[in-house]
Chain A
Amino acid sequence: MNDKIKPLTPSWFPKDGQFNIDIIRKGFNQSGHTKFLGMEYVDGGDDWLELSLDWREELVADEQSGVLASAAIISLLDNATSLAIFSKMKAFKPQATMDMRVDYLRASPKGARVYGRGECYKLTSKIAFMRGVAHNGDIDDPIAHVTGAFIQTSLSAFIGKVNK
């Protein structure tokens, strides 16, 4: 089994760990769950980053109202905050979401595009503290708020050698 283990960093993760916003723009949504959700890069700065996703029947949690699954919004905020941390670190270092608290302020209406803005407001040697907002285009009228933390992991944990 062990000889099958090979580094499983995302394909867009640069080998030298150098941070480059273009790598995020072009690469983060090319596979897996982010691709399935249709996340797109919107904008970003030194310690923040905004992504979006379109409403889709497949992502609905309540068929009567057409309201999106709240977990689609969690995924969006998870990615936006994670990428905001890379932006603040100016590096791609292996990290894992430690915890997230999401408050749902209102439902995201049927058909509406959802934006997720993540910010890393404090970086320590091991922990990145983040917060963020989901909205439908007006950040002053939020759908949801998130707070939480990411923890930097060893590369071996990141690629799955030590997780037992």
Chain B
Amino acid sequence: MNDHSITLPPYAKSLGMRIDSYEGDTPIIAMPFSDIVIGRPGFLHGGAMAGLLEIAAMASLRSALNKRGIDYSVKQINVTVDFMRGGASQTSYAIGKVNRLGRRLANVEAAIWQEDRERIICAAHMHYLVRTKE
């Protein structure tokens, strides 16, 4: 069953990101290529790629937390981003994966591809502090 309670924050919407589809319960986030995400001419800005990864990672974590049925607040602790290939002038897709969800800590990774899902252009792993809302 798809979880449609995932909403994207203003930052994601202003960069044109949308939920493209779902893989199981996890949303795949799409970001169109446009003037406002360009770094060097013709390529995505590294920060925009990091932004897409952040949104995809958070969406996968929200989806995992929703399954627990408890309201959580989530705070990002850190991120490591690997830039592997230039982001070409086409739509980018990203999905997050929760590798471990503990009571306090979540280990999450995310990856971006463009036309070929097997060809990852940028990836990241993040730690989040997870707290039960009172």
A residues near B (Cβ < 8 Å) are 8-11, 31-37, 57-63, 68-72, 74-76, 78-79, 96-104, 107, 157-160, 163
Is A96 a contact of B47 with CB atoms below 8 Å?
no
Are A97 and B46 in contact, with the CB atoms below 8 A?
yes
> Closest CB of chain B to A62's CB: distance in Å?
6
Q: Is B99 an interface residue (CB 8 A)?
A: no
When distances are taken between beta carbons in the complex, the residues of chain A under 8 Å from B81 are 74, 99-102
Given contacts A99-B82, A160-B88, contact A33 B47 (CB under 8 A): yes
In the docked arrangement, what's the CA distance between A68 and B54, Å? 12
Residues in B with CB closer than 8 Å to A62 are 9
Q: Does B72 contact A (CB under 8 A)?
A: no
The residue on A at minimum CB distance from B10 is A60
Give the interface SS of chain A, mostly helix, strand, loop or mixed.
mixed
Query: Contact between B9 and A96 (Cβ–Cβ < 8 Å)?
Result: no
Please tell me the number of chain B residues within 8 Å of chain A, measured between CB atoms. Answer: 35
Given A61-B11, A97-B46, are A31 and B35 neighbors across the interface (CB < 8 Å)? yes
Inside 8 A of B97's CB, which chain A residues have their CB? none
The answer, yes or no, to whether B101 is at the interface (CB within 8 Å) is no
Residues of B within 8 A of A9 (CB): 40-41
B32 at the interface (CB under 8 A from A): no
Report A-chain residues with C-beta under 8 Å of the C-beta of B41.
Answer: 8-11, 31-32
- Check if B51 sits within 8 Å of A75, measured CB to CB: yes
16 extra A-B contacts, CB within 8 A, seeds A100-B46, A103-B78, A160-B43: A9-B40, A31-B41, A33-B38, A33-B39, A35-B36, A36-B36, A59-B11, A60-B9, A68-B11, A71-B47, A74-B47, A75-B47, A100-B79, A100-B81, A102-B78, A160-B86
Known A-B contacts A34-B45, A69-B54; the reply to A96 vs B83 at CB < 8 A is yes
Given contacts A57-B10, A100-B81, A160-B86, contact A32 B47 (CB under 8 A): no
Decide if B9 touches A63 in the complex (CB within 8 Å). yes
